[in-house]
Amino acid sequence: MYFKDCDGLDQAIMVAKKHPVNLSGIEKWCEDERQLEVYEEFIKLLKKN
């Protein structure tokens, strides 16, 4: 995931739906980058379908 990159976010969601991912690691990375809202959006879209 790259911040403010909608295409990158879409790709990350497609990968996460088909492969195991470390969600806690992604959350920590977003938190470290002070972009926790990006993680929240990722989770919301991941659960959407």
The domains of the chain are located at 6-48
Backbone dihedral region for residue 10 (phi beyond 0: left; psi -120 to 50: alpha; all else: beta): alpha
* pLDDT recorded at residue 3: 64
Q: What integer pLDDT is reported at residue 9 of this predicted model? A: 85
At 49, the pLDDT band (50, 70, 90 cuts) reads low
Chain segment 1-48, per-residue pLDDT in tens? 556 788 888 898 999 999 999 999 999 999 999 999 989 999 999 999
Alpha-carbon span 22 to 10, nearest angstrom: 17
Model pLDDT, residue 1: 58
Q: What is the pLDDT of residue 16?
A: 95
Q: Within 1-49, where are the H helices?
A: 6-18, 23-32, 36-48
CA dist 49 and 35 (Å) reads 23
Question: Is-contact 42 9, C-beta < 8 A?
Answer: yes
